[in-house]
Structure 1
Amino acid sequence: MTAPYAQASALVNADGSLARSKGIKSVTRAPAAGRFCVQLEDSRLDVNELTPVATLSTGGYPGQVYIDPANNGQCGSQKDTILVVTTNWEKAGDYKPFFLLVP
């Protein structure tokens, strides 16, 4: 994947697998529906200091995507792991494919 100005970038499938990525160590599905824990390769990056952006990819609509702006207990409270939440049109947790960018 080419993303020359990104610290990390990914297309994450609904099952949590990576279609393509840069700077992503792993993606796991958290226990609650629609929650993904995205661990960054560079452990020096602190999610409390980042401004990640996510959007649903084709196949994810209708639905929504949210990012928890701080380290989260659902992902083990790790400073290098971002919680991404995807929902269906009723705002209930649902696994959806999404793009993630960490500028």
Structure 2
Amino acid sequence: MAVDTVWRDDEDWERLPLFPELRPAPALLLDAEERVFADPFLAELAHTRPLQRLNNIGFLGALDYIRQSNGSNFHRRRHNRYDHSLGVAELALLYADIR
């Protein structure tokens, strides 16, 4: 079975095949480029030692040792456990509001 999908740019990469019109969800906790928290409690929590420790732990394990960058776009660059934890918290907040 041949796959004929060709990614032309970042916009194509972001689209899901089943939902081509679905846009990426906006950041709820922080601005991805500025890394600024809207809530002072979250800003203080993010600067604690347990969470800052996650900045030095790669998210992909052995794949993090590959030298080639995977893009400068925030959604396409490699993440660490800190970024992942913030993303999970954003999703939890989003789904809690929906429910």
**Shorter-chain TM-score: which interval?**
under 0.3
Which has the higher Rg, Structure 1 or Structure 2? 2
> Which gives a bigger RCO, structure 1 or 2 (Cα 8 Å, sep 6+)?
1
TM, length-normalised to structure 1:
0.27
TM, length-normalised to structure 2:
0.28
More helix, by proportion: 2
